[in-house]
Amino acid sequence: MGRIYLLHKPYQVLCQFTDDRGRATLADHLAVPGVYAAGRLDYDSEGLLLLTDDGGLIHRISDPRHKLAKRYWVQVEGAPDDAALAALARGVTLKDGPTRPARVRRLDGPPPAPRDPPVRFRRDIPTTWLEIELREGRNRQVRRMTAHIGHPTLRLVRVAIGPWQLGELAPGAWRSERLNLPTAPAPGRARTRRRR
């Protein structure tokens, strides 16, 4: 049985363990040897990052062919109307082609805790929190999608990857979970099919 580590990556932390420019990295928050991030999260994004030493699991989590759902809470500038949200849900055409359909809704509950440093406040321009769930992972995709409908992303927090949830983890905090991965049959023992 292996382990997977769930880290709440803070804002302005690189998704790697070293940096020659002195920026904050994962090593500032997680001191577990031999683990690697399963996928990435931009320097200016926050939220759930999964790490493990299991290369096969990293591939299953990060490869878009496996269509593992990733859910984000996104603060956008302005107040998108129903038509704009429907466009996101259907898929929009970006420079690298059309996006797959997504699940999109306005968030009704309280917003996430304030970020440090906070998002720039502008009294005359409202903001809206959306929940967006994707099953693909292009570079800065959520930000490009919301900009496409005229509502730039101000803040982005990933709250779930497949069955793994950010939950109550504070920025910079982490927890580990044991994995019950299926094992291969013992060498020399072929599986037999039961006749029906």
Which entry of 20, 42, 96, 116 is annotated as an active-site residue?
42
- Token pair 């998108």: residue: 80
Q: Give Cβ neighbours of residue 185 (< 8 Å, ≥ 6 apart).
A: 191
Q: Rounded CA gap, 100 and 110, in Å?
A: 28
81 is catalytic: no
* Total Cβ atoms within 10 A of residue 99: 20
Q: What is the DSSP string of 163-175?
A: TEE-TTPPTT-EE
CB 170 within 8 A of CB 8: yes
Structure letter (DSSP) for residue 39: S
Active-site positions?
Answer: 42
